[in-house]
Amino acid sequence: MNLHRYHDVNRRGTIERIFYTTKDQQGMETAKYANVYLPFGYSDQRRYPVLYLIHGGGGNPDAWLDCSMIKNALDTSFAEERCQPFITVFPGFYNHDPIRTGRVDEEAERGHVLFFQQELRKDLIPAVDQRYATEASRESRAIGGFSMGGVTTWFAFLENLDQFSVFMPLSGDCWQFGGLGGGKQTEKTARYLHDHTMEQDYGRDDFRILAGTGYEDIAFPNLTPQIEAMKEDTDLFVFSEKMEEGNLHYVVMEDAPHMYEKVYQHIYNYMPTLFRENHG
């Protein structure tokens, strides 16, 4: 595994904000923003694929940038031509600042990330596609996230498969049947992921799942059994350790607890194959 090692580069991307309006769970309009990373040399004379990268529980659109070296990982990867440049969007799935009580309200968190799926397709993606030179197709969109952002990613697979073709859930399992469902209701969860996808007439060639966590990560006991159960449904999920094969990949890192500072390494490692086509 190639791990990201920090070093400075001259060809740095830029961060700006996009503002848009959406509706909250009560139907009230609310103003929101997302951070947008534009690779060095960004030009509206070409079209770029887009990665939507979601924060964890209690976070906001700034969390990935504040808590990890994700920007440097993007900068160095593009400067070293490890992959074709793409735009990265850092949104927030809360419509209001979360109330932090010291305990996680699993049902409330589940409600936030599930409701966010409407915002993605109706408000955020259209706003991004209108403002930036995106390729504006599901084949050129990926979504990933950490912790509750990983949960968000699984819901995107279920609710927005027509919007994305690549899914990168990091240290978060599928909560279709409640909190920590990947561990608590493993077989039921894996079967639903399979059946719901087949019912939408998507097959093994229509998506890729690039999952990851760490052996010391609190998500490991719930995400791992879910992935193992998904491996059994080989008519849809084809697991492989080779990135050029299969549509289901799962990497577990050593010495990697539940932290942005660790989990962003998965993104760095997956970047060369995130968008397989030669864009530009």
Q: Domain map of the chain by residue range?
A: 14-274
Task: Write the CATH number of the domain with boundaries 14-274.
Answer: 3.40.50.1820
E strands, the chain, are 14-23, 29-38, 50-54, 87-90, 141-146, 166-170, 208-214, 248-253
Spatial separation of the C-alpha atoms in residues 88 and 37, rounded to whole Å: 5
The mean pLDDT value for 157-172 works out to 98
Q: Give the tokens for residue 133.
A: 């030179």
pLDDT, tens digit (0-9, with 9 covering 90-100), for 70-122: 999 999 999 999 999 999 999 999 998 876 666 789 999 999 999 999 999 99
DSSP class of 239: B
pLDDT, tens digit (0-9, with 9 covering 90-100), for 234-267: 999 999 999 999 999 999 999 999 999 999 999 9
Q: Give the tokens for residue 6.
A: 């920090």
pLDDT, tens digit (0-9, with 9 covering 90-100), for 180-238: 999 999 999 999 999 999 999 999 999 999 999 999 999 999 999 999 999 999 999 99
Q: Quote the pLDDT of residue 2.
A: 83
Q: Quote the pLDDT of residue 248.
A: 98
Q: How many helices (H) and strands (E) does the chain have?
A: 9, 8
- The pTM of this model reads 0.97
CA atoms 179, 92, 131, 266: torsion sign: negative
